[in-house]
Amino acid sequence: AQKVTQAQTEISVVEKEDVTLDCVYETRDTTYYLFWYKQPPSGELVFLIRRNSFDEQNEISGRYSWNFQKSTSSFNFTITASQVVDSAVYFCALSEAFGQAGTALIFGKGTTLSVSS
C-alpha cells in the first residue's frame, strides 16, 4: 500500500534557524512523483516542489532545498534562515497511479512549523 509518513507533528524554531522537515514514503510503483505543499492559515495548499522517481538530483531554490533519496525512501525539505512567514503546515505527498491518467495525491499528516521572532 502507498503511504506517506511525516513523523514530526510540530516543530518550533526561532527566526534565522535552519529547519528540516522529514518525509518517508512507501510505494510499489517504479514511476511516481513526490511533492511538498504548504498550507498557510488561510487554508489553501500551495505547491512548492515536485520530483519524479527518476530524478534524484537535489534542488535548492532560494531558502528552500530538497533532499530526495530513493535508497531510504525519503524526501526531506529544508528551510534555511527561517522567517516568521514560513509558519504554516507543510505536507509531503505521493502521486498514486490511476492507470491511464489523472492525479490523486496521498498526503502525509503534515508538519506544523512555527517560527517565532
**Which stretches of the chain bind another protein, using CB under 8 A?**
32-33, 35, 37, 42-47, 50, 91, 93, 95-98, 100-110
Nearer CB in complex with another protein: 84/104: 104
94-98 own/partner pairs: CB under 8 Å, 24+ apart: 94/2, 94/3, 94/4, 94/25, 94/27, 94/32, 94/33, 94/34, 94/35, 95/32, 95/33, 95/34, 95/35, 96/2, 97/29, 97/31, 97/32
Nearer to another protein, 91 or 115 (CB): 91
**33 vs 64, beta carbon nearer another protein:** 33
CB of 96 to another protein, least distance (A): 7
Give min distance, CB of 27 to another protein, in A. Answer: 11
